[in-house]
A and B are shown apart, each in its own frame.
Chain A
Amino acid sequence: MTLAVDAHGLSKSYGALKAVDALELQVPAGIVLGFLGPNGAGKTTAIRMLTTILSPTAGSFSVAGVPHTRPIEIRSRIGVLPESAGYPERQTGEEFLRYHARLFGHSRSSARERAIALLDEVGLATRGHTLIGGYSRGMRQRLGIARALVNDPEVVFLDEPTLGLDPAGQRQMLELVQRITKERGATVLLSTHLLAEVEEVCSRVVILNRGRVVAEGTAAEVARQAAAPRRARLRVAPDCTAPALAALSDGGKLSAAELRPGELELTFSAEAVPEAMSAEALRLVLGADIPVLGFELEGGRLSDAFLAMTESA
């Protein structure tokens, strides 16, 4: 498996404060990785180290196969949309992209071609000659993505690209992220707080808390790793509530309580496998000849895992 990002023991300290603590991160090439964590978890610091903007206090890493000891080479192979990036207000979008394309080694004419193509790709084709000072927040973010793609990067780091965008803008941004991987084959490391969208867009997720990785895997795997007790809602006919409670009393690692007539809440113990417990609960109830009107497993979403892992750590 080719790794786009491979970090070992990566740490960054500011005095006594450990912003990132011995980060281990392996990102396979060609995927969208959701890089999650609460504010102050160390996501931006980790991204800044991986993009060679900050020097690590300890540890080593490589990006696109280039070791961290060759920062200029790494920068030539990555694209970055920094968190809260600023833009020169008195340049037009096209001028901005042309300049950055030339910094990446494009000739004057190819930089112009590249700028026009990228503006078109991010939906700013008609605003290329407008001063950036007149751009909306969403347009600036799209311009930032275009800048990140100016060198046709192998790995793209997007730090909060949806920050401050309305739902439509967030949707457009996530579609753009998907296109970067599908059409360009680039690896994307996406730092965001939009957990529902992460489940949709990201092949894998990493949850960071207080500078450490607390979970990683696919969204489903991470959701399963959450230490929060799983709950389920079981609906039966109101007159079957008591028999259902009686049947479930033999459940071992699960307990049941009546919420209201016909609706029971099942709680699984922390060490139980939720899917197995769900099956066991249904087997017990159906085994007692009680018709099941509804069953819904709670606590199996990425957002639940996120909250459980970042609140308890």
Chain B
Amino acid sequence: MSAIAARPLKRAWPLVAEQELRDLWLAGRGLPLIFGYSLLLSVITYLVATNTALNFLEQRESVNLTLQVAVAVGALLVLLGAADAISGERERGTLESLLLSPASRLSLVVGKGIAALSIWVVAFLVTVPYIWFLGRGLGVVGVALGNGFLVGVLLALFLAGLGLLMSALSSSNRFSLSVALFTLLALFAPTQLPGGAQQSWVGDLLQRIDPISSGLHYLGKVIVDGHSPGQELSWLIGPAVAAGLALAAALAASRSLNLRGGPS
């Protein structure tokens, strides 16, 4: 056969991301996940709209509640995608072929991370009409969508980093998903603190440290209380720091990415 010259690949991550996006959205679980997500959002929107019509819930609160569910579930889907990204390949026996390519380990992890993050972008696009429907005529739709997207991006970055870290280190897909989901559930705990505990300095600190609690708290302040985003920006420090740390840890773990999981 004729030899066709290949050039050394300098940056493989766009190529890996392209293939992962194709696998996720054209042949993988992306569409079924988003279909389930939109069904859930439809049910929530119906219930919230009914309660609003009966004056059980203010319109701003209905927008906030639906957006919080959308952000939390969207971020959860990102976590599922990221936690499966490497350990899933490991279990299916397809990781070795990727590791045998000259693409750097970092490129593989970054490409897979981008695919996982795309789940939040698509989930957000699906959310837009629901929020528009609930918030129409109130002048809050733009603020809700803008801030919802921002918080969602921070949480998606955090959970993508966490999922990729677990996925890179664990030899079993089940273990990686379990640990990531358990961590996510633990992060939801501060949102369930009783009102009194939330007002105490310990409760306040917990909520600020916990990226999910602080992100959702920020949305409530901006959408329901009508505060300006600048006023409540300190609530986004937790999600931003958590996202940075989780991504840095995932990228560091990518350097020792190997066939068995754990340190090489």
- Using a CB–CB cutoff of 8 Å, the interface residues on chain A facing chain B are 48, 51, 53-55, 72-73, 75-76, 78, 80, 82, 84-88, 90-91, 99-107, 110, 113-114, 117-118, 120-121, 147, 151-152
The answer to whether A117 and B2 touch (CB under 8 A), given A90-B23, A102-B15, A103-B15, is yes
Report whether A103 and B101 are in contact in the complex, using a CB–CB cutoff of 8 Å: yes
Alpha-carbon separation in the docked complex, A106 to B259 (Å):
25
- Establish whether residues B6 and A53, one from each chain, have CB atoms under 8 Å apart when the complex forms: no
B1-53 with Cβ < 8 A to chain A = 1-9, 12, 15-16, 19, 23, 27-28
A107–B5 Cα distance when bound, in Å, is: 9
B9:A117 contact, CB within 8 angstroms? no
B102 touching A110, Cβ below 8 Å:
no
Option from A72, A80, A117 in Cβ contact (under 8 Å) with B1: A117
Select A54's contact among B2, B4, B28, B259, beta carbons within 8 Å.
B259
Return 5 A-B CB contacts under 8 Å, by A number.
A48-B259, A53-B259, A87-B93, A105-B8, A121-B1
Contact A82 B97 (CB under 8 A): yes
Q: Are the CB atoms of A84 and B93 closer together than 8 Å?
A: yes
Interface assignment of B96: CB less than 8 Å from any CB of chain A: yes
- CB of A85 within 8 A of CB of B93, answer yes
Cβ distance A77 to chain B, nearest Cβ, rounded Å: 9
Asked if B264 is at the interface of the complex by the 8 Å CB criterion, the answer is: yes
- Provided the pairs A55-B264, A85-B96 are in contact, do residues A104 and B23 lie with their beta carbons within 8 angstroms? no
Shortest distance from the beta carbon of A127 to any chain B beta carbon, whole Å: 18
B23: which of A88, A102, A151 is its contact (CB, 8 Å)? A88
Binding site for A on B (CB under 8 A): 1-9, 12, 15-16, 19, 23, 27-28, 92-94, 96-104, 258-259, 264
Answer whether A103 and B4 are a contact pair too, CB < 8 Å, given A82-B97, A85-B96, A86-B93. no
The residue in chain A whose Cβ has the minimal distance to the Cβ of B101 is A103
**Nearest Cβ in chain B — how far from A64, in angstroms?**
13
Main secondary structure on chain B at its contact with chain A? loop
CA distance A255 to B244 in the complex (A): 79
Which one, B7, B9, B27, B258, contacts A103 given CB within 8 A?
B9
Closest to A117 in B: B1
Cross-chain contact A76 with B8 (CB below 8 angstroms): yes
Using A87-B94, A90-B28 as known contacts, list a sample of 10 further A-B pairs with CB atoms less than 8 Å apart, ordered by residue number in A: A53-B258, A54-B258, A54-B259, A75-B100, A76-B8, A84-B93, A85-B93, A103-B15, A110-B4, A113-B4
The residues of A that contact B101 with a CB separation of less than 8 Å are 75, 100, 103-104
- What is the bound-complex CA distance between A88 and B6, given in angstroms? 24
- Establish whether residues A101 and B6, one from each chain, have CB atoms under 8 Å apart when the complex forms: yes
Which residues of A lie under 8 Å from residue B100 when comparing CB positions? 51, 53, 75, 78, 80, 82
Contact between B23 and A152, CB atoms less than 8 A apart: no
Q: CB distance A86 to B6 under 8 Å?
A: no
Contact of A106 among B1, B6, B94, B104 (CB under 8 A): B6
Given the known A-B contacts A80-B100, A121-B1, are A90 and B27 also in contact in the complex, defined by CB atoms under 8 Å? yes
Q: Is B4 a contact partner of A53 (Cβ separation < 8 A)? A: no
Known contacts A53-B258, A85-B97, A104-B9; A91/B23 CB under 8 A: yes
Partner of A105, one of B2, B6, B27: B6
A274→B96 CA distance, assembly (Å): 45
Q: Do A104 and B6 touch (CB < 8 A)?
A: yes
Chain B residues within an 8 Å CB radius of A105: 6-9, 102
Contacts of B92 in A (CB 8 A): 86, 88
Query: What residue of chain A has the Cβ atom nearest to residue B98's Cβ?
Result: A103
With A86-B92, A88-B23, A88-B94 as contacts: A72 and B4 at CB distance below 8 Å: no
Q: A90-B28, A110-B6 are in contact. Are A103 and B12 (CB under 8 A)?
A: yes
Q: Which residues of chain A have C-beta atoms less than 8 A from B6's C-beta? A: 101, 104-106, 110, 151-152
Q: How far is the CB of A48 from chain B (nearest CB, A)?
A: 7
Q: Closest residue to A75 on the B side, CB-wise? A: B102
Complex Cα spacing A90 to B92, Å: 12
Cα A276 to Cα B203 with chains together (Å): 91
Assuming the contacts A88-B23, A91-B23, A91-B27, asked whether A53 and B99 have C-beta atoms less than 8 A apart, the reply is yes
Residue among B3, B4, B93, B94 with the highest chain A CB neighbour number at 10 A: B4
CB A234 to nearest CB in B, in angstroms, measures 52
- Find the A residue at minimum CB distance from B26: A90
Chain A residue numbers with a CB within 8 Å of B264 are 54-55
- Known A76-B8, A104-B102: A147·B93 in contact at CB below 8 Å: no
- How close is A155's CB to chain B, nearest CB, in angstroms? 12
Query: A55 contacts which chain B residues (CB < 8 A)?
Result: 264
Q: Are A99 and B259 in contact (CB under 8 A)?
A: no
For A85, A86, A100, A101, which residue has the most chain B Cβ atoms within 10 angstroms? A86
Which residue, A55, A72, A105, A151, has most C-beta atoms of chain B within 10 A?
Answer: A105
Minimum CB–CB distance from B2 to chain A (whole Å) comes to 7
What CA separation (Å) do A113 and B259 show in the bound complex? 30
Bound CA–CA A110/B9 (angstroms): 14
Chain B, residue nearest A184 (CB): B1
Contact call A103/B23, Cβ cutoff below 8 A: no
